[in-house]
Amino acid sequence: MLSSFGDALRTAALPLLAASLTDRPLLIASVTACGYLPWIVFGLLGGAVADRVDQRRAMWTVDAVRGLLVAGFAVVVALGHASIALLIALAFALTTLQTLFDNAATALLPSLVERQALGSANARLMTGQKIAGGLVGAPAVPVLIAAGAAVPFLADAATFLLAAALVAALRTAAPERAARAAGSTLRREIAAGLRTLWHDRALRGLCAATALCNIGMGALIATLVILVTGWLHAGSAGYAAVATAYTVGGLAGGVLNRWITAGLGPLRTVLLAGTVQIGALLVMGTVRSLTALVAALAVFGSMGMLWNVNTTTLMQQRAPADMVGRVSSAFRTLAVAGAPLGALLGGAVATAGGRNTPPLLTAAFFVLSVTALIPARKPDVPVVAPDDDVTTARAPG
């Protein structure tokens, strides 16, 4: 949760810093785009490594390195040497390390809780991250920036280093793993993860739907600062307000997840979430009001939490225990692949059609996403083992 607090500071501060360095939407969007690229380049590798190593050790090591990187960047900002190129380099480096951290964290959780409790565990974990990251972190950004442009990044570095120390202090036994077959290589292990994902119809449909969503999300996230400060003229305080609204919505989604999922099942819950998000996006792009944007982002955030909790839980429940990292990385890599393109599309659309048009572009991609998700919601989709010929379980609701 400490890392989430720091992530929120950096995620909010980077676009504001970029906007202070240039007024060109495409350059500002490029910072976000390059923050997604490592998932395409290193995501599969990160999942394979996460299945091989001590996941707890990998997590604290990554956080320590990220803390040192952000601390160095804060010094550069304090000296007045920040540039768009440096922001892009930082975003790329941090996400490269995140590919290992996130896959290790996803793979570690099923070894700590029972599989039937994964939904509740994920909801609590993501809700806690929202509290630390958005409810506390994002509103603090204007205050910290007022103290100096480098201050949010110094705080981010401190949270990484403290989180690394806390994770390193955990005394949890490493999960047992079956011995790797003779001649096993990272390439073959990555391919096994991809095959497992492909042959599971529910996960394959979710992956396609999430990929389409993330193209739109790339456009929205990369240009949100332009929408708030350029179209609504709400300044950094307005930007903090919409970020907080998104977080509060996420918290509501975390609370509601248990009851909604119990009634609809995880796949239908994801379908409902995507449908409601389309309406929220249309409001964002057509109603020129900060109040309307705050309300729309709260709804959007609540549905996003439902989507994220249920897709993560389904991955953890359906993947073989010793392949969670690889299946997770395959899912995330394929799902995130379009986000850099979406970020650049958002910048181009904002330049050509107006600063309110990226949310409308995002809505169009969400329509495609919901359409792609419909076939995956059929009940009793079999879970297929890596050798592709043994049914091991049935799909959760």
Region 3-18 average pLDDT:
72
pLDDT of residue 272: 93
pLDDT of residue 295: 95
Structure tokens belonging to residue 267 = 């796949």
Whole-angstrom CA distances from 285 to 107, 243, 267, 288 are 38, 16, 28, 8
Residue 176 — φ and ψ, nearest 5°? Answer: -75, 140
pTM, entire model: 0.67
Whole-angstrom CA distances from 200 to 227, 239, 246, 390 are 39, 40, 32, 12
pLDDT of residue 134: 55
Q: Helix, strand or coil for residue 392?
A: strand
pLDDT above 80: residue 12: no
pLDDT of residue 135: 55
pLDDT tens for each residue of 113-168: 776 677 777 777 676 666 655 555 556 666 676 777 788 888 888 888 988 888 88
Q: What span, in angstroms and rounded, lies between the C-alpha atoms of 166 and 182?
A: 36
pLDDT tens for each residue of 81-109: 888 889 888 888 888 888 888 878 777 77
pLDDT of residue 386: 43
pLDDT above 70: residue 352: yes
DSSP code string of 178-243:
PPPPTT--HHHHHHHHHHHHHH-HHHHHHHHHHHHHHHHHHHHHHHHHHIIIIIS--HHHHHHHHH
Contact criterion met (CB below 8 Å) for 353 and 290: no
Q: What span, in angstroms and rounded, lies between the C-alpha atoms of 359 and 228?
A: 12
Domains of the chain: 2-170+189-389 (1.20.1250.20)
pLDDT of residue 395: 38
pLDDT of residue 380: 39
DSSP code string of 10-41:
HHHHHHHHHHHH---HHHHHHHHHHHHHHHHH
Least confident of 28-42, 169-183, 310-324: 169-183
